[in-house]
Every structure is written in C-alpha cells, then in structure tokens.
Amino acid sequence: MSDETGVPSYLIPRISPEAAEFFAGTVRGELRVQRCASCGLHHHYPRMFCPHCGSDELTWVTASGRGTVHSFTVIRQQGIPMFKEQVPFVVALVDLDEPGARFIAQLPTVAPEHAVIDMRVQVRFRPASEDMAFVEFEPHE
Amino acid sequence: MNRRVCVAGVGWADGPKTPDLTAMGLQAQAFGRATADAGLTKSDIDGLASAGYGGMHEVQLAEYLGLTPHWLDSTSCGGSSFEFHALHAYRAIQAGDVDTVAIVYGNNELSTAGRSLGTGRSGGGGAAAMPYPMSFELTTGLTLVGAYAMAAQRHMHQYGTTAEQLASIAVQTREHAARNPHAMYRDLITVDDVLGSKLVADPLHKLDCCVVSDGGCALILTTEERARDLGRPLVYVRGAAAGMTHHSIQGMPDLTVTAGAVTGPKAFAEAGIGPSDVDTFQMYDSFTYTVLVCLEDLGFAPKGEGGAFAASGALRLGGALPTNTDGGGLSATHPGMRGLFLLCEATRQLRGEAGDSQVAGAEIAVAHGSGGWLSTMGTVVLGTEPV
C-alpha cells in the first residue's frame, strides 16, 4: 500500500516506454493522448503505431479532458480489495471530444442511478503513486 | 487433395463437480471416452489440439496421454479457441496434412477456484504483471462481467433491448438444463427470477451469467473415408470461419457487433446454407448478451431485434431455433472455457443421440464460440450430409 494515495501497490501498473509521456501527464494534471499526423485521429492507450491508419507519424497533444459516455456499467461485485470496499461504482467508456480516443475509467462522483449514456464528462486525476495518477471522469456542465 | 471431414467421436468427462479429478485427469477422461466412442485407439490419433493453460500445454497433454502426434494446435484465444482448432484441423485434414485430430479440453475450475468467475479473485500478479493494454482497464475496477455489461448496456440504449429479453435467454436455457442430468442447475426459473437475482454488473444479473463448474470434453475429427469405416452416424464439417475484432472491451469497435457478423456468413456460405436452414444452434452463452448479439450477427434476427427474437421463445426445444440444448454455460457446464462443448453437443444432436433434448430430424447444427471480451469468434457448421 502506498500510504499517500490509498492505492495498493499491486494495482500500480509498470510504466511501459510508450506510455511514459501519458503517465507523466497524469501527474501534471494533463490528459496526454497521441494524435496521428497522417489521418488526424487520436488514440489511447499509447502505441508506436496509429491503430486507425497504421502510420507511425504520431505526436503528443494535451486533450481538452472533455468527452461523452459511450456506455457504462455499475460494478456491484468485485473480489479485489479496494474495489471490493468501493462497490457499487460506475465504470464507463468515454469518447473524448478529440476524435478517435476512447478511455475506460471510473465515474466516482456519479451515483449508479444517475449514470446515463451520452452524459457529458470531464477528466479528473486520482494520484496513485509518485509517478502516476489514474484517469477518472466527473459530470461536466 | 480436398478430402471431406467428419466427426469420428465425442466424449464428455465427469461433471459438473469433480473435486477428486485434476484438470489433466478430466482431459484424459474425455479423450478416452471420445476415442472409445469413435472406435479408435490412441495410436490412431496423429493430431492434437488443446487450450486453456500455459505454453506447451498440448505437448504436455500428448505426453500424459502417450501420444506422439505430428500435428499440434495450441491456439489459445479464449473460449472460442476450440472453434479455431476445429477450423484449423478441418483445413489440415482436407489438405492431407493430418488424418485424425483430437481436440481436448477439461478443467476443474469450480473445485480449484470457486465461484468468483469474472468478478476478480485477488491481486494475483498485480497490475505490474498485466498485459500492457489491460493495465489501463483493470485499474478501473472493471470486471469481466462488467465488460460484457457495458456492451449489453449500449445495445439496450441503441435498440431498446430490455433486461426481460436478456432474461428470457436464461429461462429457456434452464428448460434444457432441466433435461440434462449432468447440468449444474436444473430447477426451472422465470424471467422474474432472473431479474430478482443479484445485479453483478448492470444490466447483468447473476442469472444472466454462466455457471462455474468442473468438466471437460473431447472431439475427434477425421476423414470421411475413415469415419465411414468406424460405423458411427456420419456428421460432416460443412464450413468454418474464425475472426476477431479487439482484445479488451475498450478496443471493441462497435459494442453491438461482434466478429460473428463476418464469421457466421462466411461459414454459412462455405456450408451452402442460410440462417433458416439451421436446425439447432449451440452458442457460447458466457452471458445472456453474448447469445443475443450473436443471434443478430449470424443472421438469425436482424440487428437490433435479437431481444424480441429470443423473447418469442425461439430458443427452446420446439422453437424456431433450439439453442444450447444441453443447458448451456448459463445452467449446465462452464469449466472456464466452453467452446468445445458446443461442437460436442452439435454432434450429439446430429447423430440423434440427444435423448430428451433431441431436436427432431436435426440435419444442420451450428456451433459458435466467443472468446475474451466478445473478442474472438469462431463459427463451425456441421451437418448430416456433405455440402
């Protein structure tokens, strides 16, 4: 358990080289995603290669942090400690306003009965370790 | 060379609860029963396929069984691995690379792991050990059930599919389980029972989810020529196709369409059939939604109308498309992966050996496997006559 954050160490992913900029951004409070210079689409998780068109002409941009819920579920049964104590909670697929990038994240401030598809959301960061924060979303407007 | 391919034998291990058997023991039991059913001995087997364990599993299994096959397939892409195996074996037998392939699966999931399927067991190796893409998913607390639930939720949003329609799939499957003495759960249930069972991940309830059991089965494919000599009722492989769309749910291009939309029509075309020719459908029912979306993708119902089709009673014995006639993963058996059980049940139906669960006059059966998070799909068309 990392004392500061309450996130158990076994839930902290290894930072892979292609994702280093993404995680560094989460510590600064910036949502960094890759944009393809060839097709103009964004993607997440970070890669060496655009999954939309196959180009390797990728640049990092800071996303607006705003997006739309594409779908969601309410997790009511979870065996992993931390999550087990947190149920019920909402997990959503969020399409960023920047086309092409989809995130999967918790909506921790949205009560299960208030979660709906198409709701507008905005990113927030939950510190997980010295080197990263987890991406979450909360209602926007 | 383009030889016709038939099922030579099928066999089932004990189940649904076998605390005294190992996974390997279940596989050996199923293999032994399938070879006996075929009238073959182990020396007749020159190809072996299996999945569900670590690297070199099928090699280990061959050693355990005392086999020295020259053709191996360890394709391991989730629960549909066995439809991929059947496709690969079908092509290899057609081409003359191998004559007789055993596909084997068995696992004591219930006795070793308990009933936490798809909702997380422990930290395990932890996030550091996760495959790279999954490290962005499991840190959210999403579960396997939750991934399917998000897909179901989207389908409901787009097409007005209801929880009652999903529940009807579980209800009809249980009717079939009630006729299967080896099924895990046999008491009849209602739509209200499903909706009244605990929500695991909205909109999926406990009874929308497959069981956790022990069990195993084996299928042997061979040439038509050899199958004729063996004297069992002939069951032909008429067509097969496999494909994928994504790995984890965050990468699924459209939550309401699976690779079945490609593999179904492709396998049907090779088999020279259309959806209306199918007498019985053996469909990987990891969750009720898996069935619903694939009913549409394989063309049994138009996109968006799978719910109404299922709720009409089409899936029960006597209905338009008797589905999962052994009680399925939802009620009968699911020892971690179910793809091979679909092929074995399809064979049992086409041989006319399904007893109380027999679909009268069944001539065409389709087995459709789904693996991962609706990720990998394989369709196999079997029939009592060649194409």
What ranges do the domains of chain B cover? 5-113+214-236, 143-210+239-383
CATH of B5-113+214-236, one of 3.40.50.1820, 1.20.1740.10, 3.90.1150.10, 3.40.47.10: 3.40.47.10
B68 close contact with A: CB closer than 8 A: no
Question: Which fold would CATH assign to domain B143-210+239-383?
Answer: Peroxisomal Thiolase; Chain A, domain 1 (3.40.47)
Per-residue pLDDT, B122 = 42
| pLDDT at residue B341, rounded to an integer | 98
Model confidence at A52: pLDDT above 70:
yes
Cβ–Cβ < 8 Å for B173, B166: no
Counting Cβ atoms within 10 Å, is residue B370 exposed (0-12), middle (13-18) or buried (19+)? Answer: buried
CB contact under 8 Å between B141 and A128, yes or no, is no
Tell me which amino acid residue A50 is. C
**Secondary element (H or E) of residue A84:** helix A83-86
- Same fold for the domain at B5-113+214-236 and the one at B143-210+239-383? yes
Using the 8-state DSSP alphabet, how is residue B212 labeled?
Answer: -
A60 CB neighbour count, 10 Å cutoff = 14
* Residue type at B30 in one-letter notation: A
With an 8 Å Cβ cutoff, are A73 and B201 in contact? yes
Mean pLDDT of A59-67: 98
**Predicted pLDDT of residue B123:** 42
How close A36 comes to chain B (CA, Å)? 17
d(CA B137, CA B147): 10
Residue A1: pLDDT band with limits 50, 70, 90: very low
The predicted structure's pLDDT at residue B282:
98
pLDDT bin (cut points 50, 70, 90) of residue A28 is very high
Q: How many A×B Cβ pairs under 8 Å? A: 121
Half-sphere exposure of B317 (CA within 13 A, CB side): 19
Look-up of token digits 């055993």: B102
Q: Provide the Cα torsion B298, B301, B302, B307; round to 10°.
A: -120
Q: Nearest by CB to B150, which of A51, A71, A89? A: A71
| Best CA proximity match to B336, nearest among B144, B91, B161 | B144
B137 in contact with A, Cβ within 8 Å: yes
Are A115 and A74 in contact by the 8 Å Cβ rule? The answer is yes
Statement: residue A104 has pLDDT above 80? yes
Q: How many CB atoms lie within 10 A of CB B197?
A: 17
Q: Which of B220, B217, B215, B232 has the alpha carbon at shortest distance from B69? A: B220
Closest residue, chain B, to A18 (C-alpha): B132
User: Cis peptide leading into A112, omega within 30 of 0?
Assistant: no
A77: contact with B, CB 8 A cutoff: yes
Quick check: ipTM above 0.90?
Answer: yes
Dihedral (CA of A79, B113, B327, B80) sign: positive
The helix (run of H) or strand (run of E) holding residue A85 is helix A83-86
Query: CA–CA separation, B172 vs B95, rounded Å?
Result: 40
Residues 6+ apart with CB under 8 A from A106: A89, A90, A91, A92, A134, A136, A137, B140, B141
Spell out the alpha helix ranges (H) of chain B.
23-38, 57-65, 81-95, 109-113, 144-159, 163-177, 191-196, 224-230, 260-271, 288-297, 306-309, 339-351
What is residue A9's predicted lDDT score, i.e. its pLDDT? 85
Q: Which of B102, B96, B35 is nearest to B68 (CA)?
A: B102
- The answer to whether the CB atoms of A128 and B198 lie below 8 A apart is no
Distance CA B11, CA B261 (A): 30
Average pLDDT over residues A48-61: 97
Rounded to whole angstroms, how far apart are CA atoms B245 and B215?
29
Of A127, A124, A108, the closest CA to residue A5 belongs to A127
- Look over chain A and give the mean of its residue pLDDT values, rounded to a whole number: 94
Average pLDDT of each block of 10 consecutive residues along chain B (387 residues)?
Answer: 94 95 96 98 97 89 97 96 98 98 95 67 56 84 96 98 98 98 97 98 98 96 98 97 96 98 98 98 98 98 98 98 98 96 98 97 98 98 98
Fill in the DSSP letter of residue B233: P
Q: What residue type is B177 in one-letter code?
A: A
Give the residue carrying structure tokens 């199918």.
Answer: B278
Chain B contact for A14 (CB, 8 A cutoff): yes
Chain B contact for A62 (CB, 8 A cutoff): no
Q: Enumerate residues 6+ apart whose C-beta is below 8 A from A86.
A: A78, B141
Q: How far apart are the C-alpha atoms of B145 and B170, rounded to whole Å?
A: 16
Hey, are the CB atoms on B149 and A73 less than 8 Å from each other? yes
Contacts of A104 in chain B (CB under 8 A): 136-137, 140, 142, 249-250
- Residue closest to B360 by CA, chosen among B248, B289, B279: B279
Q: Does A9 touch chain B (CB under 8 A)?
A: yes
Residues of A in contact with B208 (CB under 8 A): none
